[in-house]
Amino acid sequence: MKVGILTGGGDCPGLNSAIRLVVKRLIHEHDAQVYGFLDGFRGVIEQDYKVLDFDSVSNILDRGGTILGTSNKYNPFRVYTKDGVQDKSDEAVRYLDKLGIECLFTVGGDGTQTIAAEMARKGVPVVGIPKTIDNDLVGTEFAIGFKTAAAFVADAVMRVRSTAESHHRILVVETMGRYAGWLAMYGGAASGADVILIPEIPYKLEKVADFVAARAKKGRKYSIVVVSEGVKSVTGKRVVRRVVNDSPEPLRLGGIGDHIANELEDMTGIEARVTVLGHLQRGGRPLPEDRLLASRLAFHAVDLFLDGKTGLMVAVQNGDITEVSMEVPHGKQRFVTMDDPVFKMERSIGTCFGY
């Protein structure tokens, strides 16, 4: 038995937990040979891998990052070369076939699983394992890495609260999340943020300023504003740090925290400061919940392969581990809606969402 595994997209806590389960179980139960492709799909495109054994995955259950490396730049269907963009997917399929890969486990988010779905269409036996701190993958309620990242956001907000309270300031905390507000919403809700701004709800800065000013009049001389990096105002404007034209994600978001802090200070007369959490959210040791989730998802992924079922992504639905077709997350993103229980909970206690 020969299988492959890769981790694609951004790193996050819990990736090594999933790798460990796949490798240990298939070797323990089936004496399988497991190929770990390096740096996501780069390893498939450039034929770069290492054979994983028990020693390779020992003591990595709680290690952050990924022992295989990762990248969000490599796509077999769009390979950037000096001669332009080329489709090398057929070469990748032939290479996997030559190696005798009976299943390719793809641990990744929407970009990785979209590529995996396209590979499945070409006949590659694929099983996807969802991971993303953005939690924006369609088909699953939770993905590996999200709970650890949300807990970090909540802890960071609790830490800056004391400074905001001591100095009577507005403290703006900028989170990751791209165009989905899960991370900001869960992190903000778990830390008692006063204002939570998410990309799904265009904000009016006047509404936020009025809310903060009203708190000050009631004697609440500080406010905590959690803002997701991808938010936009009612005018449709987003803050973009820079543009990288040869990237699958050309827009580099960032800077919205500074913009909102400056504007709120001018509008309210209350001193404002900003904390950008950045890559701190993606790094470090996964929480036990993420280690367990990663292991359970990987266990079910192996089950599917052993049952001869591929072209699927494992998922969490209604709290249970299940699976969906790779076509479900293909090219889509999962967004916060006003029907979400956490959103409704926060609105019920008066948290401001800027509208």
- Residue whose token pair is 């323990």: 28
Query: CA 134, CA 113: separation in Å to the nearest integer?
Result: 14
Q: Phi, psi at residue 241, to the nearest 5°?
A: -70, -45
131 within 8 A of 107, measured Cβ to Cβ? yes
109: helix, strand or coil: coil
In which order are the strands placed within the sheet that holds 223-228? 195-197, 223-228, 170-175, 272-276
Token pair, residue 275, equals: 């904390």
Please indicate whether residue 246 is annotated as part of the active site.
Answer: no
Rounded distance, CA 53 to CA 32, Å? 9
Q: How far apart are CA 129 and CA 20, in angstroms?
A: 13
Query: Which ranges in the chain belong to alpha helices (H)?
Result: 15-30, 42-45, 89-99, 110-121, 146-167, 182-191, 205-217, 256-268, 288-306, 341-348
Q: Which of 11, 39, 134, 194 is catalytic?
A: 134
Tell me if 211 sits within 8 A of 264, measured CB to CB. Answer: no
**CA-closest candidate to residue 47, choices 91, 87, 77, 110:** 91
As given in the structure block, the two tokens for residue 96 are 């996997």
First to last CA, the chain: 56
Q: Which residues are catalytic?
A: 134
